[in-house]
Amino acid sequence: EVQLVESGGGLVQPGGSLRLSCAASGFTFSSYWMSWVRQAPGKGLEWVANIKQDGSEKYYVDSVKGRFTISRDNAKNSLYLQMNSLRAEDTAVYYCARIAVAATEIDYWGQGTLVTVSS
């Protein structure tokens, strides 16, 4: 059974940093593109970042470029999102997600971890 379990969320002050982790199990992690998707309270979904199987390609939504870094450790079956210079508008539930083999959709989602940026 595919499982994606996020951790690392919490309350952080504006300008602060946070590192999210996602533990993957039930599939060959190194064979899949992975993503972080976020959802602000009461709002829709927003794709944040994608990373290729070997970590050689990374893509970000414009609003987080230069502040967020997506990475992965295939030996540990783990996905990460380092978030720096956090802003109030980064407040959201952050989902770890697996992109399907054909790379045309997300086929599995974690349960999400809440990040709150507030003083």
Partner 1 sequence: QSALTQPASVSGSPGQSITISCTGTSSDVGGYNYVSWYQQHPGKAPKLMIYDVSNRPSGVSNRFSGSKSGNTASLTISGLQAEDEADYYCSSYTSSSTLNWVFGGGTKLTVL
- Which of 55, 106, 114, 116 binds partner 1 (CB under 8 A)? It is 106
In terms of Cα–Cα distance, which of 86, 105, 91 is closest to 35? Answer: 105
Per-residue binding string, partner 1, 3-32, x by CB under 8 A, is: ------------------------------
Output 23 or 61, the one with its CB closest to partner 1. Answer: 61
CA distance 104 to 110: 18
CA distance 54 to 19: 20
Q: Which alpha helices (DSSP H) does 31-106 contain, by range?
A: none
- Contacts with partner 1: how many residues (CB under 8 A)? 22
- Which of 30, 59, 82, 84 binds partner 1 (CB under 8 A)? It is 59
- Which of 50, 68, 79, 94 binds partner 1 (CB under 8 A)? It is 50
102 binds partner 1 (CB under 8 A): yes
Q: What are phi and psi of 109, to 5 degrees?
A: -125, 150
- Which of 18, 72, 95, 115 binds partner 1 (CB under 8 A)? It is 95
In terms of Cα–Cα distance, which of 110, 114, 96, 112 is closest to 34? Answer: 96
Sequence length of the chain is: 119
CA distance 68 to 72: 14
- Which of 5, 40, 88, 100 binds partner 1 (CB under 8 A)? It is 100
Binding site for partner 1 (CB under 8 A): 44-47, 49-50, 59-62, 95, 100, 102, 104-112
